[in-house]
Amino acid sequence: MYCPHCPREPLVALEHQRVEVDYCAQCMGVWLDVGEIELIYGDAAAARDFMRSRNPVPRGEKPRRCPECGRRMDKEATDGAPPVIYDRCRKGHGFWLDRGELAAVLEHAPEQNEVARFLREVFPAPNKSASTG
C-alpha cells in the first residue's frame, strides 16, 4: 500500500496484538484498517460514537485517496474537544490520520487498553510545552 498523502511512499506495517498500523515514514501519517479503531477502544459502540461525531468538518483540505481501493475518501471529525479531522474510506476500508492525529485520537481511548498504551508509546502526542513565551 502507498501513502494517501505521499502517493509514491510505501506504508510501513507495525503490528501489535491484532492491530496492524500502517504508517508513512515521510509524512508520519497513519492508516487504520476497518475494525482496528474498535480494538484500540475495546468497545465497538464507543469507537463508532467517537469517530462519527456531529462536529462540522472545515473545508479546504485536499481529499485523499484510500490506499486500498484508490477511491476518494470523505473528511470526518471526531467527537471530543478539539475534534480531529481525518479521512474515511467510503467503501469502509479504514481511516487515514495525518501526523499527530492518532495521538489526539488515543487521548480519548481507555487508559487500561493495552493496544492503546502501546500505540501511545510509538506515536506520542507532540510536546505541548515546547512553545514557551
- Answer yes or no: are the C-beta atoms of 105 and 97 closer than 8 Å: yes
pLDDT by residue (tens digit) across 44-93? 888 888 887 666 677 777 889 999 999 999 998 888 778 888 999 999 99
pLDDT over 90 (residue 96): yes
The owner of cell 456531529 is: 54
Contact call for residues 39 and 118 (beta carbons, < 8 A)? no
Domain boundaries, the chain: 12-130
The pLDDT tens digits of the residues spanning 7-53 come to 899 999 988 777 789 999 999 999 998 888 888 888 888 888 888 76
Q: Which residues of 23-45 are buried (b: 16+ CB within 10 A; e: fewer)?
A: bbeeebbbbbbeebbbbbbeeee
What is the pTM (predicted TM-score) of this model?
Answer: 0.84
Q: Grid coordinates in use for 81?
A: 474537544
What Cα–Cα distance (Å) separates residue 112 from each residue in 31, 36, 117? 23, 17, 7
